[in-house]
Amino acid sequence: MRWQRVNNYLLMIEPGIEVYLTPELEKTLDETAVQQLVNASLLPGVHKVLALPDVHAGYGLPVGGVMATRTKDGVISPGAVGVDINCGVRLLATDLEEKAVTKKETRERLLAGFRREIPAGEGKNGVLTLPERDFRRLLQEGPRLLVERGWGEGRDLRVTEEEGALPGADPSRIPAELLEYGRKQLGSLGSGNHFVELQVVEEVFAQEAAEVFRLFPGQVAVMIHSGSRRMGNGTALHYVKEVCRPAMKKYGIDPPHPDLACVPWRSPEAESYWGAMAACANYAWANRQTMAEKARQVLREVFGGGFTSWTVYDVAHNIAKIEKFGRQELVVHRKGATRALPAGDRRAPAEYRKVGQPALIPGSMGTRSWVITATPEIHRTLNSVNHGAGRVMSRTKARGKKTEAALITWEDFYASTKEKGILVASGTGSDLRDEAPGAYKDSDEVIRTMVEAGLITPVAALKPLVVLKG
């Protein structure tokens, strides 16, 4: 595999795969991720494959990867969507100022409240179990059902990608045992890199957009990062292993790697997967809606009723969508990538259309998160931006094992969190060194890559103060 540098922000991998990386970030590009991009480019009907600066090896397609296939002669690949369907991010802003959270005691109360009200960790059940009939409606309509019942407000839907409901959802396409997991886990965080984070707006860069989004320096906010839990994970693996792999022989498809199992877009198997994926995506939006309401509850307990809060936006990553670019209708697989719509795009919420849709890019527990907007040049990446900083080491290497020392020491961990005044806790008391900032790329350098490429405009940077991890 060969690649060459085109300029200070772009590499080109044969055969024509764009990778957005500065020379500094190029050091983090591993051969496995490169091979996965090449593998994806060889699937039937591929229009374009590219990678964003958070790229690292994943399941099938790298995290930070985008693959677009033509609807007329292309395929859909569950592995290229990801195994946590619609893992995504919601930003809840308030009119509270930083002085409200300067006392450590206040931050400790907030962290304790998040731990109490928002179940975190692998296998944990949620906070809201709906009757089966209502649950199936939620899978079809997303968080609208919750808003109708007092879990949020109507505006939350307007500032959620797809208004929280991807068309074509069909709960019957999800295996029954996974449906029951989903019904029990609504309103739970999960494990891994999922988090609830109290943040403060540290800096504003684009005043007009910040005013439209109602963001200001010193503002207190809550960011939530989670997905579709066990139901989404199990559904993705079911369609890779039990549906697409057996079906490929029938269609004469032989992918370079079995994790990129795929089926023609115009096939019964694709229709079935889409129905299941859309239902899991709608569930993920509802899951974040539920946790946002729990976060609001914690804020009210600590600060009383003397403040207001609002959803800035909710973005998905790990999702496939049908989108048009010129005359081409494409199935755009975003695996650890976020859709970003520039100013004037009619798919953006009406109140944001003047400046463009806010895209949310979380940091890594001890580093800044970002709100950005896309420039008109974003069409070069099929309206896609990175979804975070991106890992530079595996979880095992970060934590170590019996035969290998940990690459992230506890001293490193505390220096990047506690010594900065950041309160961190795991919902299950697990070792969090694999989520330390040192296990990730420099989020500021990742953002700089996209700025230098002319693809985004930073709006605001937010620093972490309190972090609940799975």
Compute and round to an integer the Cα radius of gyration of the chain.
21
What are the structure tokens assigned to 467, written together? 């972090």
Active-site residue, selected from the candidate residues 47, 56, 333, 387: 387
Q: Do 71 and 331 contact (CB within 8 A), yes or no?
A: yes
- Active site annotation includes 257: no
d(CA 169, CA 144): 14
Residues with catalytic roles: 387
